[in-house]
């Protein structure tokens, strides 16, 4: 087995990476799409803060993922429930959702982005993947299926046929120009995405699908770098809520041995809530003017201490049914052999109002730029605390790579703080011996990867599945599936 290159950031996208340390997909236009062999996917995401439709496409010969266009809305702008509609859930900030209101917003964002990109649904769009991070208003992880149905309604109303939202059973179900790139004649989709199996228990955490997609997405994003970001990996998605997973190096499919739940972007959102610069009821850091440049400032460590003491980062207990407002099943996690790590502020967000007060005091005393610097340190500390638990529990091997995505971890100075300070329990800096990637829109890129996996469109010469430094798993996958039929 070859030794992977230990490098934090890609050399072949050096100009971008050296500037801000965040890996972003290259753009591509419709004219280029029609000249080559590309597999185009729409990622439809309903989140607590934003609702997005991101169009991504994969070069089937190189496995590199490109971004075509995207449309982003604030979820709080979803219309109010109608008199005959049933509220089936709500965002972490209390925005009520109905099947009808969600489907209308999804239809709108999908229609607009397809029209702007000049993509024809029948000719150019191959697949649509739906996902949600809105789980705070549910009582049990299994209830997430209701909202996924609402997302499907929106896609259908936009003109997407059902066959473009489900896995193909044979090459004949794919467009003729793509049939040469599928392995469906030799293998079938057995639930493994980017050669990682989901937990054996399906109700461990409500946003398990997010964890699966961001893990696949970061693996896909790494294809534009020289980093071999294959199993074993640890991935974290810092949206409004936390998602991600840890995999081992089992072969040909890795097992999920760790998962995450709780609050992520909700923490900085609370810290700026009383700044006077965002809406008090459901504002977020995204409402702040984007042109602000963070100056080098000295911060009072007492501020960090005061905030950190309200943030719980710990193993989810067997008796826990909710952590950081997100439905979990601690017993199922234990049965499946999955370490579930949660992030909370108080108990199920009960101390978020304390963070609002602290944030207001810092802003009044030192200004919003200083508060944002404090936020960078707080979020970097959360990553450190998560890693310390995972490492102390033996889930981090000497080959584990770390990938981070999400609006509340790739912004500001957080990447640099993490690169410079993240340590293993033995005291060594993470980057001295492990790969590290920061990726924008990891979930959308995960949609591109998942859609290919569901249609068995792998690239054996540039594999995404398998172990770091190892060969493609295709032949072993075929043997495994043939054995299962024997």
Question: What is the pLDDT, as a whole number, of residue 137?
Answer: 65
Question: What is the pLDDT, as a whole number, of residue 139?
Answer: 64
* For range 333-360, the mean pLDDT: 97
Establish if 96 belongs to a structural domain.
no
Q: Which helix (DSSP H) or strand (DSSP E) does residue 330 occupy?
A: helix 330-336
DSSP state, residue 260: E
Question: What is the pLDDT, as a whole number, of residue 146?
Answer: 81
Distance CA 379, CA 396 (A): 21
Q: Is the pLDDT of residue 38 over 70?
A: yes
**CA distances from residue 65 to 19, 32, 76, 215 in whole angstroms, order as listed:** 21, 13, 30, 15
Q: How many domains does the chain have?
A: 1
Question: What is the pLDDT, as a whole number, of residue 143?
Answer: 67
Establish if 462 belongs to a structural domain.
no
Question: What is the pLDDT, as a whole number, of residue 364?
Answer: 96
DSSP assignment of 355-383 equals HHHHHHHHHHHH-HHHHHHHHHHHHHHHH
Question: What is the pLDDT, as a whole number, of residue 88?
Answer: 85
What is the bridge-based pairing of β-strands 127-132 and 38-46? parallel
* For range 92-104, the mean pLDDT: 93
For the chain, how big is the Rg over CA atoms in Å? 21
Q: Closest Cα partner for 148 from 126, 133, 168, 169?
A: 133
Does 232 sit behind a cis peptide bond, omega within 30 degrees of 0 on the bond before it? yes
Contact 408, 264 (CB under 8 A): yes
Establish if 98 belongs to a structural domain.
no
Question: What is the pLDDT, as a whole number, of residue 73?
Answer: 96
Q: Closest Cα partner for 130 from 144, 116, 113?
A: 144
Establish if 182 belongs to a structural domain.
no
Q: Is the pLDDT of residue 145 over 70?
A: yes
Q: Closest Cα partner for 417 from 21, 23, 11?
A: 21
* Containing structural domain, residue 226: 219-439
pLDDT tens readout for residues 103-136: 999 999 999 999 999 999 999 999 999 998 887 6
Question: What is the pLDDT, as a whole number, of residue 291?
Answer: 47
Q: Is the pLDDT of residue 4 over 60?
A: no
Question: What is the pLDDT, as a whole number, of residue 340?
Answer: 97
CA end-to-end distance (rounded Å), the chain: 31
Establish if 302 belongs to a structural domain.
yes
Distance CA 285, CA 269 (A): 5
Establish if 390 belongs to a structural domain.
yes
Distance CA 203, CA 180 (A): 37
Q: Is the pLDDT of residue 310 over 80?
A: yes
Distance CA 427, CA 440 (A): 29
Q: Is the pLDDT of residue 19 over 70?
A: no
Identify the sign of the CA torsion 366, 324, 24, 2.
Answer: positive
Q: Is the pLDDT of residue 455 over 70?
A: yes
Question: What is the pLDDT, as a whole number, of residue 136?
Answer: 66
Q: Is the pLDDT of residue 6 over 50?
A: no
What is the bridge-based pairing of β-strands 87-90 and 50-59? unpaired
Q: Quick one: tokens of 59?
A: 């070069």
Question: What is the pLDDT, as a whole number, of residue 71?
Answer: 97
* For range 150-159, the mean pLDDT: 97
Q: Is the pLDDT of residue 142 over 70?
A: no
pLDDT tier for residue 7 given thresholds of 50, 70 and 90: very low
> Residue 337: left (phi > 0), alpha (psi -120 to 50), or beta?
left
Question: What is the pLDDT, as a whole number, of residue 76?
Answer: 95
* For range 164-176, the mean pLDDT: 90
* For range 434-460, the mean pLDDT: 94
pLDDT tens readout for residues 247-298: 999 999 999 999 999 999 999 999 999 999 999 989 999 999 864 555 678 8
Lowest mean pLDDT among 3-12, 182-191, 327-336: 3-12
Establish if 419 belongs to a structural domain.
yes
Q: Is the pLDDT of residue 1 over 50?
A: no
pLDDT tier for residue 486 given thresholds of 50, 70 and 90: very low
Q: What percent of the chain has pLDDT over 70?
A: 92
**CA distances from residue 103 to 43, 54, 128, 130, 150 in whole angstroms, order as listed:** 15, 16, 14, 12, 5
Per mean pLDDT, which of 8-12, 18-22, 89-93 is the most reliable? 89-93
Establish if 145 belongs to a structural domain.
no
Question: What is the pLDDT, as a whole number, of residue 246?
Answer: 98
Between residues 140 and 362, which one has the greater pLDDT?
362
* For range 350-359, the mean pLDDT: 98
pLDDT tier for residue 202 given thresholds of 50, 70 and 90: confident
* For range 372-376, the mean pLDDT: 96
Question: What is the pLDDT, as a whole number, of residue 169?
Answer: 86
Question: What is the pLDDT, as a whole number, of residue 290?
Answer: 64
Mean pLDDT of the chain: 90
Between residues 478 and 42, which one has the greater pLDDT?
42
Q: Closest Cα partner for 261 from 195, 352, 215, 330?
A: 330
DSSP assignment of 411-428 equals STTHHHHHHHH-B-TTS-
> Domain holding 261: CATH number?
3.30.420
């Amino acid at each position: 087995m070859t030794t992977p290159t230990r490098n934090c950031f890609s050399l072949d996208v050096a100009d971008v990476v050296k500037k801000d340390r965040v890996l972003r997909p290259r753009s591509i236009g419709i004219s280029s799409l029609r000249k080559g062999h590309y597999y185009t996917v729409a990622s439809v995401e309903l989140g607590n803060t934003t609702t997005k439709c991101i169009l991504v496409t994969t070069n089937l010969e190189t496995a590199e993922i490109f971004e075509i266009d995207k449309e982003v809305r604030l979820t709080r702008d979803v219309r109010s429930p109608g008199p005959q509609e049933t509220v089936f859930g709500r965002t972490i900030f209390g925005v009520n959702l109905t099947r009808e209101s969600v489907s209308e917003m999804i239809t709108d964002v999908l229609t607009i982005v397809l029209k702007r990109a000049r993509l024809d649904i029948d000719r150019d769009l191959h697949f649509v993947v739906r996902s949600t991070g809105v789980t705070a208003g549910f009582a049990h992880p299994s209830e997430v299926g209701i909202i996924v149905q609402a997302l499907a309604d929106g896609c259908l109303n936009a003109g997407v046929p059902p066959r473009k939202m489900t896995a193909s059973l044979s090459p004949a179900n794919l467009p003729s120009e793509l049939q040469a790139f599928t392995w469906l004649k030799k293998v079938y989709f057995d639930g493994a995405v980017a050669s990682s199996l989901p937990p054996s228990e399906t109700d461990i955490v409500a946003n398990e699908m997010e964890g699966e997609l961001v893990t696949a997405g970061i693996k896909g994003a790494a294809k534009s770098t020289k980093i071999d970001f294959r199993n074993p990996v640890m991935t974290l998605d810092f949206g409004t809520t936390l998602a991600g997973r840890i995999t081992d190096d089992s072969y040909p499919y890795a097992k999920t041995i760790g998962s995450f739940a709780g609050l992520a972007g909700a923490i900085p959102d609370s810290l700026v809530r009383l700044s006077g610069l965002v809406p008090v009821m459901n504002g977020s850091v995204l409402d702040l003017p984007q042109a602000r440049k963070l100056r080098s400032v000295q911060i009072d460590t007492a501020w960090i201490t005061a905030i950190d003491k309200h943030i719980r980062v710990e193993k989810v207990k067997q008796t826990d049914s909710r952590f950081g407002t997100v439905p979990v099943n601690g017993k199922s996690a234990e049965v499946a052999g999955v370490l579930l790590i949660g992030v909370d502020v108080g108990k199920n967000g009960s101390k978020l109002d304390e963070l609002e007060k602290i944030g207001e005091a810092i802003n009044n005393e030192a200004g919003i730029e200083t508060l944002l610097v404090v936020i960078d340190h707080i979020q970097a500390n959360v990553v450190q605390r998560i890693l310390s638990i995972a490492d102390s529990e033996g889930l981090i091997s000497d080959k584990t790579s770390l990938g981070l995505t999400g609006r509340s971890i790739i912004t500001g100075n957080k990447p640099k703080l993490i690169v410079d300070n993240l340590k293993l329990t033995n005291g060594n800096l993470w980057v001295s011996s492990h790969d590290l990637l920061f990726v924008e829109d990891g979930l959308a890129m995960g949609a591109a990867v998942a859609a290919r996996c569901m249609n068995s469109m792998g690239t054996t010469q540039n594999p995404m599945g398998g172990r770091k430094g190892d060969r493609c798993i295709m032949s072993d996958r075929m043997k495994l599936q043939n054995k299962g039929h024997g």
